[in-house]
Homo-oligomer: A and B are copies of this chain.
Amino acid sequence: MTSQGSVGVVEPQCAHFSEPLALRSGGVLPAYDLVFETYGTLNAARSNAVLVCHALSGSHHVAGTYAGQPKSLGWWDNLVGPGKPLDTNKFFVVGVNNLGGCFGSTGPISINPTTGEAWGASFPFVTVEDWVDAQARLADRLGIDAWAAVLGGSLGGMQALAWTLRHPDRVRHGMVIAAAPQLSTENIAFNEVARQAILTDPEFHGGDYAKHGVVPTRGLRLARMIGHITYLSDDSMAEKFGRKLRHGEHKYHYGVEFEIESYLNYQGDKFAKFFDANTYLLTTKALDYFDPAFDYGGDLKAALARAKAKFFLASFTTDWRFPPARSRELVYTLLHNGRDVSYAEIDSNAGHDSFLLDEPHYHAAMRAYFANIEV
């Protein structure tokens, strides 16, 4: 299952929506922009469109590179392209930055037109359902009545699931990868520690750090370090870093001693330079809140009864953030509702991050599933 061609050089587009969006929190976003990218060509029947939803730190930049920036590869480039599992010779693929994001779509770093200042801490809480509603308007704008498929991994998978519930007639295939019907207690716990790292950073200033000309770097890097541990598996970390020492001996200091420390600090530093702290907070809350069964008194089967799509789910054996058991919960419930479900439980030692990798069986399963989608 080697990857084939690239979609090549791509360029983001921006769609402005001036109609207010009512949010699940009770708030209203008066107007908003969505930044998105497309790959492939929408067919005449407008039946070959696929929406790719991103996870916590992802963006609209799913595939290809930007002009003059050969290292700017999209985050799911191994999946999307001509001849790749999600084949752009067949499908018209759309990637979109979520509301509340920090990569161009309206979010905390955007200007609030009412005040003329950045939204900052005053940006309203957004949920997975709000993202889906905002994306539905983008579908309208692009003339797409129904997606051939909506897919995503992790939080992106939750969006794919929410699409099948919120707009059941507008998605033919829901593809929910490395996700869960809701966060576990432990998932929420990790999110809360990450949030506390940001919220208690003296440079957070109640979310209005921009006004103070600072960034809560300490908090953001800790949040990312914590998150990163949960994306990897014990096995993959052991294989990659083991107990390898940077200096070959114990130095008895608080600088980098083990290679894993170097890696985590590097990941934290890198992330803190490009990601917005308010977006991080909002996004982890969207994760915490997501729970289709919540409005049904905890009855997941009743909550999923609205879905009309066919489903593809995949999980990874060493994913301890969203373990296979969480995907099976969804699979069984969908089956009990009489839905058509394909499920792949993939042997992988790469933990939650597996969904971003081109593990051969995983990509073969995705390739076969996409090949069998009629357009």
Contact = CB atoms under 8 A, between A and B. Distances in A.
Interface string A78-111: 0000000000000000000000000000000000
A100 to B, nearest CB: 12
Contacts of A281: 254
A218 B197 CA distance: 8
Contact of A254 (B189, B195, B234): B195
A225 B182 CA distance: 22
Contacts of A285: 252, 254
A237 interface: yes
Interface residues of A, number: 52
Interface stretch (A54-62, A261-269, A340-348): A261-269
A186 interface: yes
Nearest to A284: B254
B185 A264 contact: no
A222 interface: yes
A200 B229 contact: no
Interface string A168-207: 0000000000000011111011101101110111100000
A238 interface: yes
Interface string A274-311: 00000001000100110100100000000000000000
A97 B200 CA distance: 32
Given A193-B222, A193-B226, A243-B291, A188 B258 contact: yes
B238 A189 contact: no
A29 to B, nearest CB: 14
A226 to B, nearest CB: 6
A10 interface: no
Contacts of A218: 200-202
A189 B260 contact: yes
A241 interface: yes
Contacts of A320: 234, 320
Contact of A192 (B196, B200, B242, B261): B261
A252 B285 CA distance: 8
Interface of A: 25-27, 125, 182-186, 188-190, 192-193, 195-197, 199-202, 218, 221-222, 225-226, 229, 232, 234, 237-238, 240-243, 250, 252, 254, 257-258, 260-261, 264-265, 268, 281, 285, 288-289, 291, 294, 320
